[in-house]
Structure formats: structure tokens, C-alpha cells
Structure 1
Amino acid sequence: MKRLILLPGLLLLAGTALLAQVSPPKKLGTVQLINMRAPSPIKIDGKLNEWNGNFQAYNKNTRIFYIISNDDKNLYLAVKSTDFTTTAKIIAGGVTLALNKQDKKSEKDAYSFTFPVIENPQRLSGGFGNRIEQRNAGADSEMMKAVHERTINAAKVIKVLGVKGITDTLISIYNEHGIKAAINFDNDGITYELKVPLPLLDISVDDAKEMAYNIKLNGLQLNNPGGGPPGGGGGGGGGRNALDFQDLVSPCDFWAKYTLAKQ
């Protein structure tokens, strides 16, 4: 019964994607191929205003637009999803950025940052979730706005692994380490920003070396992962206005390389 309730809630949480699906520009590659200086100043609020839509890649495996960049003090990751299931996937399991300074495509000995970490994300839709099937694309914009605000307010935790000096696996977005993260919503889907201070990674622009990074969408983690999707279907083929349940519960990722950009 619990799994039957899941999808209506996540449908509403990802609801902006019901209104618009943006096709990726053909000129963008699958991974970012250059290093970039970050714009200044940057406010980590998830709105991506500073980036002006200047995404450097559209990764087909994860279906996200993204840009990774740096200044002299921080490393930044900006992500945007315009895909319906992918938006729900980010809400349900967060985005993980893993960095391996040894230039190895391995999460072992890597620094790892996951955001957002939201407990029971399907509950954020409250009593609205069971109405989504009747409303579908005509869902009330004020109702959707309220659910999105509730989601943003619930996104207060970052999972951190492999960083010396940070002993707590889960930290607040209001932490003393200088790690910042935020999500937001626009008419196309969900937007995401992460900032990590370079000293935490023990790297600097003065001694920049190529490092491997991994971006992963963790998806919805079920207490009982066995069996098929709600309703007994086989999953797959979610389409414009429906979730692909099999995709939602399946992590996806990609590896690429980055060297800090100097002024």
C-alpha cells in the first residue's frame, strides 16, 4: 500500500515538468570538456541566475544539463532537469558529486557530496498527492507552488563523505564548513546548485591537477526493493506526463574529468 501512494506524491512534486519539456540543444556534448571560471558574485539559491543558461553539457545517461566551474576559493556545480522522471528522481534521492583527486574513475577515497537528502519526499505533497491523477496537466498552479515551496524548505541536509574534519555524515545546509547547496523550481523543472570550498578538497588553483568526477542521480530508495512498480506494471515508458517507475528507482551516473581554472 505504501508503494501505491508513492507515485501520486512524486508526480505532484515534479509537476512543473507537466507544463513544459525542453529538448536539449544539439550543440551540447555529453560531458563538459573545458575548465571554467565561475561567474561573480554567486548566490547559492538554486535559481541559476548567474549562469545565464550557459550549460556546458547535456548528459544523456542522467538527462541533466550541468556546468562545473571554480574560482580561487570554491568549486561549483549547477544542474538543471527538464525531464519529468529525472526531476522526481532528484527530489527522491538527490544528486551526488564525487571527486577523485587521483584522477581515477573510482568512488573509493573520493570526496562525496549528496543533496538534497529528504526523508520520505513523497509526503511533501500532503493531501494534494491523491488529486494529481484527476488534475494532471491542469493542476492548479498555486497548489503546485505550495508543494514546491514545501520541498525547498525540506531540503536542508547534505550528505558528506571522505572529507577530513567532517565527522558527521549528514550536515545542515547552514554549516560551518562553507559547503552550500540549494534547489529551486522553474517552469521547466528543477534547478540545483552546490558550492564546495577548495581547502576541504585539499586542492588549489595554484597547483591544479586533473581530477575525475562523478555525478550520480540516486533515485528513490525503497525499503522493499523487490517486485514491480505500483499497480503491478513492468515499469518503463513513463512518457511526458507520467513517471517511469523503473527509472525512478534505478541510480544513474557518469564520469568525466576537470582541472581547476586559473584567473
Structure 2
Amino acid sequence: MKKLLPLTVLFVLAGTCLFAQGVEPKKLSTVQVGNVLTPRVKIDGKLTEWNNDFKAYNRNTRLLYILSNDEKNIYLAAKSTDFTTTAKIISGGINLLINTDGKKKDKGAPSITFPIIEHPERLAGGLGNRFENRNAGADTELMNRVHERTIIAAKQIRVLGITGITDTLISIYNSDGIKTAINFDKDGSLTFEMAVPLKLINLTADNTKELAYHIILNGFQVEGRGGGGGAGGGGGGRNALDFLDLVTPSDFWGKYTLAKKQ
């Protein structure tokens, strides 16, 4: 548990997260209904092309998200406006599993997790001594510095269950076609994008079968606690860090059928 102290400093320095402008989670479904044809996007984590048009706000993970596809890839775009949820993503990534048989089973399903950051508790290293005598301007500067360090550190993806990819960890600059990125918007909310080639999960654009997808926030992995999906915690609120929630995986399942180009 010694790592939790510097992790506390990290997320206190990370500043205040506000709910996204123009988005009211209470009006969105908990799990996305229907499919979406992906607009032309650049995977840079900025979500500019998505126009905040999220299709669901999952209350178990406190994620705004949209799952979509084009003729070549399946995409996940997500946003965290919650303090503890952002901490969980930085600590353990967002894990997307896709069961192409449409069954809610993880075994054998392709699994892609991003970001994988080694020692996330070190991201605030050297900044803590500037924390005691802060003002509003210093808060913003510190938050921006931690955000920059987080983006720079997010260079690895964990891949399981995909034939042809033998390495468990691959670079974001991989040659397999998997694209991922995180960023932070002006409110300090974490933004996330992932694109997975359909061919890597043995799908083609004309596939008509219903897919099952499983989204997991692993959180900060403390020695002695198990991984995998879980019920999740109640959250710490927009500005508070809930340690129990931080170390407890949260997840949900959904169903998706590939959208067809008209």
C-alpha cells in the first residue's frame, strides 16, 4: 500500500474534473443502444470529430462512451469527467474485450487494454514540493504538467487473444494497426480513443452477427487483490478520490452489430 501515498499526490495535483459541457449523463442510456458508422477520425485522443455525441453514460464505470465501426475498424471513444474514474484509467487502463460469438464470456475473446503506464504513482515526481503553497494559477500549471506527463507515459497497449500478436505488450506505434490515444480537455476530463482492425478479430465489414463487448476499468492493482471485472464502487465525486473504488475493477457488458455503409 506504500504506492498509494504518491498516487494520492498525483491525483490531487491532477486538479478538478468537471462534467463535459453540453452533455447530461442522466439523459443517456446506461449501455449504448444501436450501432454507429464512424465519422472520419484521427486517433489522437481529442474527440474533436465526435462532437460530444456520446451514446451512453455507464453508471457502473462512470464513462461516457460510443462504440462504432467503419469498413476497416471498430472504435471505442470515451470520456471520464469523474475524478476517481480518471485515476482508475491512468492506473490500469480501459480494457475492451470483444466476443465475436455474441456471448458474454471473456475466455478466448480478443482483449485490448490502454493505457498501460508503468509506475503511474511516479507521474507527479518532482512536483510534490510545489504543492504546499499553491494558488489557482499554480493549480492549473500543475494539472497541465501531470496531464502532459501522463500522455507521454501512455505508450503501451496490452493485447491478449489475438492470433498473430505474440507480445503481450505492444507499442502505440505498432505495425498491427491498433491505434490508441488519451488526452485531456480544457475542463481536465480524460478523453480516450481506440481503433481495432476488424481483420485482427476475424471480422469483415459484411458481418451481420451480434457481438458482445466487455469494458473493464482495472484500476490500481494492489498486491493481494484480484483482477478482472467487478461491481465497482460508488465513486469519490468530481473532486474526491475514493481509494476503495480506485483499487476495485468496475465493468459492464453490451451488444453491438456492425453498422453498414449506405
Return closer, same or farther for 1:61/1:27 CA change in 2, 3 Å cut-off. same
Match of 1:212 in 2: 212
Which residue identity lines up with residue 247 of structure 2 in the other structure?
V
Q: Of 247, 252, 255, which aligns to 1:254?
A: 252
Q: Secondary structure at the match of 2:123?
A: helix
| Aligned Cα root-mean-square deviation (Å) | 2.1
Higher helix share: 1
Cα distance, 1:205 vs structure 2? 1.9
Q: How many pairs are equivalent?
A: 251
Structure 2: which 5+ residue stretches go unaligned? 227-232
Match of 2:81 in 1: 82
CA distance in 1, matches of 2:67, 2:54: 9
Match of 1:5 in 2: 6
CA distance in 1, matches of 2:104, 2:57: 20
Kindly indicate whether residue 180 of structure 2 is the aligned counterpart of residue 173 of structure 1.
Answer: no
Cα distance, 1:225 vs structure 2? 4.6
Match of 2:230 in 1: none
Match of 2:46 in 1: 47
Which residue identity lines up with residue 177 of structure 2 in the other structure?
G
Q: Secondary structure at the match of 2:26?
A: coil
CA distance in 2, matches of 1:237, 1:71: 34
CA distance in 2, matches of 1:255, 1:113: 15
TM-score by length of 1: 0.89
CA contact under 8 A between 1:58 and 1:64: conserved in structure 2? Answer: yes
Return closer, same or farther for 1:5/1:70 CA change in 2, 3 Å cut-off. same
The C-alpha deviation readout for 1:125-152, integer Å capped at 9, x for no partner, is 1122365476487653222212211110
CA distance in 1, matches of 2:132, 2:240: 10
CA distance in 2, matches of 1:185, 1:103: 33
CA contact under 8 A between 1:61 and 1:254: conserved in structure 2? Answer: yes
Q: Of 218, 241, 247, which aligns to 1:243?
A: 241
Match of 1:65 in 2: 64
CA distance in 1, matches of 2:235, 2:108: 37
CA distance in 1, matches of 2:129, 2:62: 27
CA distance in 2, matches of 1:251, 1:169: 20
Return closer, same or farther for 1:237/1:175 CA change in 2, 3 Å cut-off. closer
Cα distance, 1:65 vs structure 2? 0.2
Match of 1:27 in 2: 27
CA distance in 2, matches of 1:127, 1:114: 28
Cα distance, 1:85 vs structure 2? 0.6
CA distance in 1, matches of 2:136, 2:245: 21
Return closer, same or farther for 1:136/1:219 CA change in 2, 3 Å cut-off. farther
1:118-129 paired onto structure 2 within 5 Å: 118-129=117-128
Higher mean displacement: 155-164 or 144-153: 144-153
CA distance in 1, matches of 2:112, 2:45: 16
TM-score by length of 2: 0.89
Cα distance, 1:21 vs structure 2? 3.6
Which residue identity lines up with residue 163 of structure 1 in the other structure?
I
Identical residues among aligned pairs (%): 63
Return closer, same or farther for 1:93/1:134 CA change in 2, 3 Å cut-off. farther
